[in-house]
Structure 1
Amino acid sequence: MRIGNREIGPNHPPLVIAEIGINHGGDLAVAKEMVRLAALSGCEMVKHQTHFVDDEMTEEAKQIFPPNADVSIWDVMERCALSAEDELQLMRYTEEIGMIFISTPFSRRAADFLAEANVPAFKIGSGEADNLPLIRHIASFGKPVIMSTGMQTIETMQRSVQILEDAGIDYALLECTNLYPSPPEIVSLRGVTDLKAAFPNAVVGFSDHSIGPEMALASVALGACILERHYTDTRYREGPDIINSMDPSELRLLIERSREIWIAANNPKQRTAAEESVYAFARASVVADKDLPAGHVIGESDIWARRPGSGEIAGYDFDKVVGTKLKRAVTRNTQLKWEDLE
């Protein structure tokens, strides 16, 4: 798939998405500084969250308290959401400094707003991964979609994915566990390979809510093409997502190490040119294991394989030597040559 000028897939380095989300606390200046530091860390894409609370929730949300907050989900989003104009400013700033801006719409109005702003792609969060009317509405804009799949199974994702398939758009599915933070005992790295097997048309990635970069990095070796993690300029901020957010230094580490792992994961099993000098001494050569006279028929106990590998007969040809007759006498540890053998 392609978002903006970025090709995404197994043949390209992993795309690391810094999710600012609501970590700016509703402050545009803070959000811009987060974007600036992400760019300096080498990040290509930031993800925001677009909240129009009155279109996103009903009054009942004022009685629902998230596990990592001491106020209702309505109050959290109302307090942390940027205004429409501020979000447009953030998008323009992100693009001006050479990064790609995408966002998660949590309502129909938010999706319309982002479409009018001409975002290059939409992100659908785990909480909306089975919200079929919203997914259908987002897909109708014909833009690429990245969908997190936390709290879902392969079976429950079928209808949501079918909407994306029917719309004929490029899409990515991210394995995700929605507990902030997610301990290793409930994170599913296998989910990356399960998604790849179940949805062969999808680009597959990993949306990470654990502490530290280890799980996200491990997912690259399993084929994750997108890595998304919550991101903040400093962990000393307050907010429900700060606990599992990376800072700029960890963002840089994730970008650099994920590229290294991607390269290594795609290297075939072979002896490389750089290893030739090591191979010259590390492998074994066939040698006489005792003094042997000319005309002796070599038995298995007469020879052995020892370093270095500078001999003519390599250790892997040991069995070819057994049963041959010596043309000349040799002493113990003499490297044998083919011309020594009848």
Structure 2
Amino acid sequence: MSEGKVLIIAEAGVNHNGSLDMALRLVDAAAEAGADAVKFQTFRASRLVRRDTPKARYQVENMGGEGTQLDMLRALEMDEAMHGAVVDRCAQRGIRFLSSPFDEESADWLVERFGMERVKIPSGEITNGPFLLHLARRGYPVILSTGMSTLGEVEEALAVLAYAYVQGEEPPSREAFLRAFCSQRGQDALGKRVVLLHCTSEYPAPPEQVNLKAMEALRVAFGLPVGFSDHTEGVDVPLAAVALGACVLEKHFTLDKTLPGPDHKASLDPGELQSLVRGVRRVERALGGARKRFSPEEEQNRSLVRRSLVVNRGIRRGEPLEGVLGVKRPGTGRSPMEYWAACSEVAERDYDADDFL
């Protein structure tokens, strides 16, 4: 991640609907919008859910109630050939490839086969201790999404990562994780490898449930870089997140919001994604630094819109200035902040009305 530049992740997720052609078109759309990365999901449905796991409420609303979550996810898996084609298209289009793994084997495969530099951990895996332990033992830098979580759950997840990053010698346990988390070595390891994403895991997420200020709570609590994984409709909430200091922004997008599938409805279309990227870059430029000072462009206006001390009527040399002073533009004369001192002075020369003092 570049200093001062938000990493914009265009979340294709499963919006390819199992189609390679659609996946490649999603890569193209993300690249044309100017996103930094396009992210998919890597999983084997049989490793992820039990046979009888029901669909989530939003999945039922978007796809109907027929079938189980397992049935739905099997149709959305990406096989090895599909991954390879997508990675090749990313390289051709100059956009970073990312994918969220949902198991240890998938994570290792993405890193070793495709050289993925950072692993995005979905919100649903934040309590998957064995998975977190595996990722950190391999030394993988991670982006950890915190949807549906309390601060305590985030801390426990970070504690597992800290323990594994420092290669703790004592057997894994909650007590060992906590000791690693509280150690300087553990904190240093987390600081080098972990970004936290605030997230509201609802699709679409109502703005009143987003609680963007929780980003600052995460930053203060853990001293780590923070970002935002957005599930609201439109681009205004993610732009606000950037203004509040998000260093990573993740947003679902699709080729067509009316397509069948669990996430299309809560996604941006390509035009909206392009607007979001442009908006983020504008907000970045507008944020600047924390120092209050006037800009070079403002300097030329200072003398025109500020005022100076003038005399309101003609007076002669030696007359008192009290009662005859006014303030008018431009600001090229004595500052009006000297008004009270000037009132005790006498005219040093003859003045006509409106003359600078």
Q: TM above 0.5, one fold?
A: yes
Q: Give the whole-Å Cα distance in 2 for the aligned partners of 1:115 and 1:140.
A: 14
CA distance in structure 1 between the partners assigned to 2:338 and 2:204 by the alignment: 55
Q: Does 1:172 align with 2:163?
A: no
Matched with 2:173 is: none
Q: CA deviation at 1:293?
A: 3.7
2:75 is aligned with 1:66: no
How far the C-alpha of 1:303 sits from its partner, in A, is 1.5
CA deviation vs aligned residue, 1:281-303 (integer Å, no higher than 9, x gap): 1000111234444323333x431
For 2:295 and 2:337, locate their aligned partners in 1 and report how far apart those are by CA, in whole Å.
Answer: 19
How many angstroms apart in 2 are the aligned matches of 1:101 and 1:152? Answer: 27
Identity %: 32
Instruction: Please state if 1:261 is matched with 2:283.
Output: yes
Which 5+ residue runs of structure 1 have no aligned equivalent? 1-6, 337-342
Match among 119, 122, 126 for residue 119 of structure 2: 122
Report Cα offsets for 1:79-98 as digits up to 9, x if no partner: 11222332232223222332
Contact 2:34 2:277 (8 Å CA) reproduced: yes
Question: What whole-Å deviation, never above 9, does each CA across 1:48-78 have from its counterpart, x for those lacking one?
Answer: 11120111112231x3443232243222211
Inter-partner Cα distance in structure 1 for 2:197 and 2:32 = 25
1:141 to 138, 141, 144: 138
Note closer, same or farther for the CA distance 1:78–1:251 as it changes in structure 2 (3 Å cut): same
Instruction: Choose the corresponding residue for 2:297, options 240, 249, 274.
Output: 274
Q: How far apart are the structure 2 equivalents of 1:225 and 1:193?
A: 12
Deviates more, 1:316-325 or 1:134-143: 316-325
SS of aligned partner of 1:277: helix
1:222 equivalent in alignment to 2:214: no
Shift of 1:223: 0.8
Q: Which residue identity is paired with 1:327?
A: E
1:294 to 317, 322, 325: 317
**Local SS of the residue matching 2:41:** strand
* Conserved? CA contact 2:20–2:82, under 8 Å: yes
Amino acid at match of 1:289: N
Say whether residues 1:155 and 2:152 are aligned partners. Answer: yes
* Equivalent position to 1:105, from 84, 101, 107: 101
| TM norm structure 1 | 0.88
The letter of the residue matching 2:206 is P
Tell me the SS of whatever aligns to 1:80.
coil
Assess if the C-alpha contact under 8 Å between 2:318 and 2:347 holds in 1.
yes
CA distance in 2, matches of 1:245, 1:95: 24
1:182 deviates by 1.0
Q: Which moved more, 1:272-281 or 1:68-77?
A: 68-77
CA RMSD of aligned residues (A): 1.9
Aligned length: 324
Corresponding position of 1:340: none
